[in-house]
Every structure is written in C-alpha cells, then in structure tokens.
C-alpha cells in the first residue's frame, strides 16, 4: 500500500507546528505509525518531503491560475479571477502556505532554485495580467511589479488569519479580495450585485 500521501500530510503538520529543523524522520514515522526502515521505503529524506510539499504547492497555484483565466480575455475579469483563485487556494491550504513561506530557507539545492523559479513564474503571471490591463487602458499603476507583489500578499495574508468558522465565508472573502485587487490595479471595481463592500 502506498502511504506517500499520509506521510506528506504528517510531515506538513509537523513542519507547521514544530518547524522543519525541529522535526525528525522519527517524528514523521511515529505520526503515521511507521518505524524508520519502513518510512524510508516511501520517502528518501526529510528534505525530499519538504521539497515535494513546496513544489506541489506552486504547481497547484500555477494550474489554478491557468484555469481561472481560461474562459475570458477581459483584463479586469482575468485579474479578478486570478486573484480569487489565489485567495481561495490560500484559504483552503493554510499549512502549505505557512510552510512555503517560512521554510524556503530550509531548502537545499537543487530544490531551492526549483522552488524559487516556480515562485518567480507565478509572480510573473500576475505581472503580465497587470501589464496587459495597463496597455489596454483599464489599469493605472505606478509600478506593475509592486502591484503584483501587493496582490500576491493578499492571498498569503488570508492564510494567516482565515478560519472556516470565522465571521466571513470563504466565498465572501474571495469576492471581496477580488475587489481589493482591482483597486490596487487602479480599475473601477464591478460590484456583482452584492452592494457596497463591508
């Protein structure tokens, strides 16, 4: 039986609560009911687990981004949808976002460069959306790069505070953060019949 998914989930939880440096392979094995030799049949190292988690996170974000853009060419709607996908991912995958931000320094080569490239590719996706909106005359920004960073920070911030049992539903947070992104880009928000933003 392939236990790789269980092992990655246990590692993610431990990296979140204890930190990568303080987590041992024995800790991970204990969390899934495996002794060391059995664990190493599924994963070669703790570093490999961290890299798999972080690479998978970026690949899923990139895939969600492409899906979000697939049905519209309108620059305003594309930025909204991309931001909504970004925020929704971070609301649903808080541990992955936390570990991805905190433990980047723990990656060694070639994993460190691989994840940095994926992160740069993802940021460039937003930069291209904003630049396209500027060229179309629907966005007004001082710096395309800084605007893309600010929009990306929206999602990463959600991962720190959002809880399913909180005051706002996931859909409400996603929608409002889409509005915030359009304002950052200097576009006039299109309120979808929900009234004024609270």
pLDDT tens per residue across span 20-68:
999 999 999 999 998 877 888 889 999 999 999 999 999 999 999 999 9
Q: pLDDT value at position 1? A: 58
**HSE-CB for 59 with a 13 A CA cutoff:** 7
Q: pLDDT value at position 39? A: 87
The structure tokens listed for 149 are: 């960073």
Q: Report whether 58 contacts 99 (CB < 8 A).
A: no
Q: Report whether 128 contacts 70 (CB < 8 A).
A: no
> What's the whole-number mean pLDDT along residues 68-93?
97
Q: pLDDT value at position 191? A: 53
Same domain, 81 and 176: yes
Residue at 198 is within a domain: no
Same domain, 7 and 27: yes
Q: Which percentage of the chain shows pLDDT scores above 70?
A: 93
> What's the whole-number mean pLDDT along residues 1-15?
89
Distance between start and end Cα atoms, the chain: 49
Same domain, 127 and 178: yes
Q: How far apart are CA 163 and CA 159, in angstroms?
A: 9
pLDDT at 198 over 70: no
Domain extent at residue 21? 1-44
Q: pLDDT value at position 15? A: 97
- Specify the CATH number for the domain of residue 31: 1.10.10.60
- Local structure of 192: helix, strand or coil: coil
Q: pLDDT value at position 197? A: 39
The tally of domains found in the chain comes to 2
Q: How far apart are CA 164 and CA 168, in angstroms?
A: 8
Residue owning tokens 């920004």: 141
Q: Does the CA dihedral 110-115-121-127 come out positive or negative? A: negative
Counting other chains too, the contacts that 164-169 makes at CB distance below 8 Å and 24 or more residues apart are: none
Residue at 149 is within a domain: yes
Is pTM beyond 0.85? Reply is: yes
- Specify the CATH number for the domain of residue 109: 1.10.357.10
The band of 195, judged by pLDDT with boundaries at 50, 70 and 90, is very low
Q: pLDDT value at position 38? A: 81
Same domain, 20 and 92: no
Residue at 191 is within a domain: no
Same domain, 105 and 30: no
Q: How far apart are CA 34 and CA 37, in angstroms?
A: 8
pLDDT per position as a tens digit, 96-137: 999 999 999 999 999 999 999 999 999 999 999 999 999 999
Nearest 5°: phi and psi at 139?
-120, 145
């Amino acid at each position: 039986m392939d236990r790789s998914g269980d092992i990655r989930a246990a590692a993610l939880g431990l990296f979140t609560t204890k930190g990568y440096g303080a987590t041992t392979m024995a800790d991970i094995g204990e969390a899934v009911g495996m002794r060391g030799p059995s664990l190493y049949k599924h994963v070669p190292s703790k570093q490999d687990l961290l890299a798999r988690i972080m690479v998978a996170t970026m690949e899923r974000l990139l895939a969600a981004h492409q899906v979000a853009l697939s049905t519209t060419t309108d620059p305003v709607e594309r930025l909204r949808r991309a931001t909504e996908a970004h925020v929704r991912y971070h609301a649903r995958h808080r541990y992955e976002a936390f570990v991805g931000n905190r433990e980047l320094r723990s990656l060694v080569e070639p994993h460190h460069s691989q994840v940095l490239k994926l992160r740069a590719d993802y940021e460039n996706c937003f930069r291209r959306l904003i630049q396209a909106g500027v060229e179309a005359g629907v966005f007004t920004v001082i710096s395309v790069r800084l605007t893309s960073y600010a929009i990306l920070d929206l999602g990463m911030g959600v991962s720190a505070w959002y809880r399913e049992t909180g005051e706002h539903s996931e859909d409400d947070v996603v929608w409002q953060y889409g509005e915030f992104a359009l304002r950052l880009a200097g576009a006039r928000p299109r309120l979808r019949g929900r009234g004024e933003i609270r």
